[in-house]
Structure 1
Amino acid sequence: KSTRGHHGNVQPFSDEDASIETLSHCSSFSDTTSVADEGGEASEDTAQEDFQYKLKGFIDSTVDKSAKTRQGALDGLKTAMATRILYEFISERRMTITDSIERCLKKGKGEEQRAAASLACLLCIQLGSGIESEEVFKTLKPIFKNILADGSANIQARQAVATSLGLCTLVAEDDILDVQATMECFENLFTRSYARMDGTCPSINPQTSQLHTNSLLSWALLLTICTPNQLKDILCKHLPKLPRLLESEDVNMRIAAGETIALLFELARDVDSDFEFDDWDALCDKLNALATDCNKHRAKTDKRKQRSVFRDILKAVEEGDFQSEAIRFGTERMTIDSWVRKRTYDAFREFVGSGMNYHLQANEFIRDVFELGPPMLVDSATMKAMKISRFERHLHNSAAFKARTKARSKFRDKRVDVGEF
């Protein structure tokens, strides 16, 4: 069973996905503090030991002969990593877990491959950016790329790999030129959904369309870490053609294409505030048509979802505007105030599901990505005393995020000769 998340993508992880059978193995996934209240620290230690014992059991079971047992073990590990910070436990066993993921990707069937691909992302999210996740990714990247490029491979596995390869690259790729090579793998797929020059659309089945959509969203995620020079090349090469994806029969592809176009305009204007696009009027007409779509052949729910998103996309292209959204977690809040931030947040949330608020509070790597500083464990009274006005907080978040993006671009520029590619 799979649940549909943002854009209707099949989410690699959702807490609803973990079957009852899997969760029965994970009865101690609930917070250990409830146990601690009753019996003090000894009970908490016991609960922690039980939990780690179960995790070790899952790791052992990933090499079981039974596909059902392997699948349950992968799901159990996914649930644990999505809902807890397990850095030390995982760090000691990262190569063992990587070997299991590799074996399941190579020898498993669709669902098992999908679970293994998702687990690879959660492993990188737990380890954060650095040598440990780089080692994991060096092992898995060639396998991911082989599955993605193999037209005869299981389509669900290819869809999952398209999403996982994007996020693993964001977290763990240490070479900006390799980021570019991975982006080209995604381009090889989503460009097949382009409408032809005569306006007709290629005939693509829904499963393949989902693969192309996932590839486009991963490509868009990697746009957020491109150097200014790379961005200039991409704008010349891809921005004139991307609007051809807006003709797609698939509502999820139309929305993903629209959001990617809005993201590209935002990034282009960050590099050059006077950025102009030759086919701007034609693009705005097309976006406006989708924002007011009354095509009788389309489902009502699809049209409603599409119209809402395309109103925001049209504002982004016409006015450089973004509809901000506040995310609250614990005693803190974060503003999603740009297309860059939205694409990044959506990408992480796709893997950790309802554990996102917990990771925003406690995962140092994710807090670093969103410039939230070290984990804060303050009570609500302290927080009230520290409160600043909503407007000031928005300005601070916005400035901090832009500063980080610019610093990151400069840092990446230093790691490579940034002459024309």
Structure 2
Amino acid sequence: MPKNEESHGYVTPRGITRCQWLGTTAHPEEREGQLGGSADAGSRPEGRAARGEPAGTSAAAAMPKAKKRGGAHQRGAGGQPRNVQPFSDEDASIETMSHCSGFSDPASFTEDGPEVDEEATQEDLEYKLKGFIDLTLDKSAKTRQAALESLKSAFSSKILYEFIMERRMTLTDSIERCIKKGKSEEQCAAAGLACLLCVQMGSGIESEEIFKTLGPVLKKIVCDGTASVQARQACATCLGICCFIVTDDITELYSTMECLENIFIKAYPRDRDTNGVSSTPNTVLHISALLAWTLLLTICPMNEVKKKIEMHLHKLPSMLSCDDVNMRIAAGETLALLFELARETDADFFYEDMELLTEKLRALATDGNKHRAKVDKRKQRSVFRDVLRAVEERDFPTETVKFGPERMYIDCWVKKQTYDTFKEILGSGMQYHLQSNDFLRNVFELGPPVMLDAAALKTMKISRFERHLYNSAAFKARTKARSKCRDKRADVGEFF
């Protein structure tokens, strides 16, 4: 019989906790006595005799010995679990990403809420950003990538000129190291951060220093056939944007355009009589190189624009037959932009194969092939309707972009190409940068930023309730207008 232990006058078997014994093996009278806080008569010999049990029999003999939770094979010395790893790089990356969650949504910087101390908030933000900059030098690739993504989110959502100015060389060195030694995802994140770094700094001496450091590295990755396609694609986009922002050297501009040109001309068919162009794994790279080259073409001198038009205008239509819808759209938008630039340089510009080109564009604008996805066809038709109007009628559908109390009108393909490029890298932060970023306001000729205090902004902002009322009224009016047409159709049907 195992030895019994006595605790506060109650006998419990060894290896079984007091709560387990009271909850599972004790008699109801014993449990009531225990819960009442008094000595339990059931645990004494006279209590057992009253129930007809031998006096020498204990509760431990009436039930088996309980199994211990976690044997020796599960725990090591001192009761600590074995195989416990110390704080690893993966844990660090997870912790880093948890801290980065505050930057995942740019709206988190502008959400409505109680008034807070802006200075304290700015200090807290800068403290976090300093930590992310330090983590870009971490040994763990996951930690570095998470830090790069966090910096990207912050740079796209806030204007941090003074903070970046003090740390621009550190950031440049970190980006250069990540592009050189990192793998595909890390290189893409670093290239995206380089774009945002130049957008924050604008055109100036500091940005030129950044591009002098990163430019050769980006060109090397773009031309490296052994690098991943995603990394080359990101570096091609970064190369075009950074060159657009910072360079005043015409030689550097032509050199960058030549580098990008050597990439996308590989998408041209070798034989001009080829009916179609098949997509390849490098198609996404060709698209990015073409769009970056087109962006740089918008800031070239007119004599260089004429040369490029003569070189590429008769080759680009062959890319309209590519299997990839994004390649067809990129080629179509580039053609529209080239026609716009050609007519600006020469009012009597004439294209020899205009009839064949318009037939292709019209076919793409009304494409109904069943083997293509509906989403792709819808997107393609929308774009090529505008391209066809630009080529045939020299017309552009004006678009309006609203940001805060201001509006911007996109009325030409050059401005559309520029806006789409920066919208791609800034994402939802584009509106904020259009309001506050001096460089972007200069590019789109918006003038100096409009300074509005908090009270003025509050009076201009529509409350959620007012928006709800407006939407409800519009919905009712639309329903009434449509219901009248439906009623007429119903009456006609009933008449017949």
Q: So what's the TM-score if we normalise by structure 1? A: 0.81
Deviation at 1:204, TM superposition (A): 3.8
The two structures, once aligned, show a CA RMSD in angstroms of: 2.2
**Residue pairs, 1:379-418, within 5 angstroms:** 379=456
1:122 paired to 2:196 = yes
Deviation at 1:113, TM superposition (A): 0.2
Aligned to 2:109: 31
Are the counterparts in 2 of residues 246 and 253 from structure 1 also a CA contact under 8 Å?
Answer: yes
Deviation at 1:327, TM superposition (A): 0.4
CA distance in 1, matches of 2:265, 2:153: 34
CA distance in 2, matches of 1:185, 1:170: 14
Q: 1:237 aligns with which of 290, 311, 315?
A: 311
Seen in structure 2, the aligned counterparts of structure 1 residues 358 and 98 have a Cα distance that, compared at 3 Å, is same
Aligned to 1:296: 370
Are the counterparts in 2 of residues 166 and 221 from structure 1 also a CA contact under 8 Å?
Answer: yes
Task: Extract unaligned runs of 5+ from structure 2.
Answer: 1-95, 462-496
1:318 paired to 2:392 = yes
Bigger drift between 132-141 and 46-55 goes to 46-55
| Corresponding residue SS for 1:333 | strand
Aligned to 1:350: 424
Deviation at 1:21, TM superposition (A): 3.5
Deviation at 1:294, TM superposition (A): 2.1
Aligned to 2:227: 153
CA distance in 1, matches of 2:105, 2:393: 50
Q: 2:433 aligns with which of 359, 364, 372?
A: 359
Deviation at 1:193, TM superposition (A): 1.4
Deviation at 1:374, TM superposition (A): 0.6
Give CA-to-partner distance per residue, 1:202-248, whole Å, 9 cap, x none: 5442x411111111111111111010000110111111111111111
CA distance in 1, matches of 2:383, 2:98: 37
| Corresponding residue SS for 1:56 | helix
Deviation at 1:194, TM superposition (A): 1.7
CA distance in 2, matches of 1:372, 1:23: 33
For residue 402 of structure 2, what is the amino acid of its counterpart?
R
1:142 paired to 2:212 = no
1:53 paired to 2:127 = yes
Higher RCO (CA-CA < 8 Å; seq separation 6+): 1
Q: 1:340 aligns with which of 405, 414, 418?
A: 414
Bigger drift between 65-74 and 274-283 goes to 274-283
Give CA-to-partner distance per residue, 1:34-85, whole Å, 9 cap, x none: 78825xxxx3222211111111111111000011110111011101100000
For residue 297 of structure 1, what is the amino acid of its counterpart?
H
Are the counterparts in 1 of residues 278 and 323 from structure 2 also a CA contact under 8 Å?
Answer: no
CA distance in 1, matches of 2:358, 2:400: 28
Are the counterparts in 1 of residues 188 and 231 from structure 2 also a CA contact under 8 Å?
Answer: yes
Give CA-to-partner distance per residue, 1:371-405, whole Å, 9 cap, x none: 11110024369999xxxxxxxxxxxxxxxxxxxxx
Bigger drift between 334-343 and 284-293 goes to 284-293
CA distance in 2, matches of 1:136, 1:76: 20
Are the counterparts in 2 of residues 26 and 54 from structure 1 also a CA contact under 8 Å?
Answer: no
Q: 1:266 aligns with which of 340, 354, 359?
A: 340
Bigger drift between 45-54 and 373-382 goes to 373-382
Aligned to 1:67: 141
Seen in structure 2, the aligned counterparts of structure 1 residues 304 and 202 have a Cα distance that, compared at 3 Å, is closer
1:276 paired to 2:354 = no
CA distance in 1, matches of 2:252, 2:319: 26
Aligned to 2:273: 198
Seen in structure 2, the aligned counterparts of structure 1 residues 27 and 255 have a Cα distance that, compared at 3 Å, is closer
Deviation at 1:296, TM superposition (A): 2.9
State the structure with more CA Rg: 2
| Corresponding residue SS for 2:282 | helix
Are the counterparts in 2 of residues 187 and 216 from structure 1 also a CA contact under 8 Å?
Answer: yes
Aligned to 1:97: 171
| Corresponding residue SS for 1:373 | coil
Give CA-to-partner distance per residue, 1:233-277, whole Å, 9 cap, x none: 011111111111111110000000000000011111111111111
Seen in structure 2, the aligned counterparts of structure 1 residues 69 and 371 have a Cα distance that, compared at 3 Å, is same
| Corresponding residue SS for 2:400 | strand
Give CA-to-partner distance per residue, 1:293-332, whole Å, 9 cap, x none: 1223222221121111111100000111001110000100
Are the counterparts in 2 of residues 255 and 310 from structure 1 also a CA contact under 8 Å?
Answer: yes
Higher helix share: 1
Aligned to 1:402: none
Give CA-to-partner distance per residue, 1:75-101, whole Å, 9 cap, x none: 111011000000000011101100000
CA distance in 1, matches of 2:334, 2:192: 23
CA distance in 1, matches of 2:372, 2:247: 40
Are the counterparts in 2 of residues 193 and 212 from structure 1 also a CA contact under 8 Å?
Answer: yes
Task: Extract unaligned runs of 5+ from structure 1.
Answer: 1-18, 385-421
CA distance in 1, matches of 2:237, 2:99: 24
Are the counterparts in 2 of residues 32 and 47 from structure 1 also a CA contact under 8 Å?
Answer: no
Seen in structure 2, the aligned counterparts of structure 1 residues 282 and 83 have a Cα distance that, compared at 3 Å, is same
Aligned to 1:87: 161
Bigger drift between 371-380 and 350-359 goes to 371-380
Seen in structure 2, the aligned counterparts of structure 1 residues 110 and 142 have a Cα distance that, compared at 3 Å, is same
Q: So what's the TM-score if we normalise by structure 2? A: 0.69
Are the counterparts in 1 of residues 277 and 321 from structure 2 also a CA contact under 8 Å?
Answer: no
CA distance in 2, matches of 1:158, 1:229: 30
Q: Identity of counterpart residues, as a percentage?
A: 60
CA distance in 2, matches of 1:36, 1:143: 46
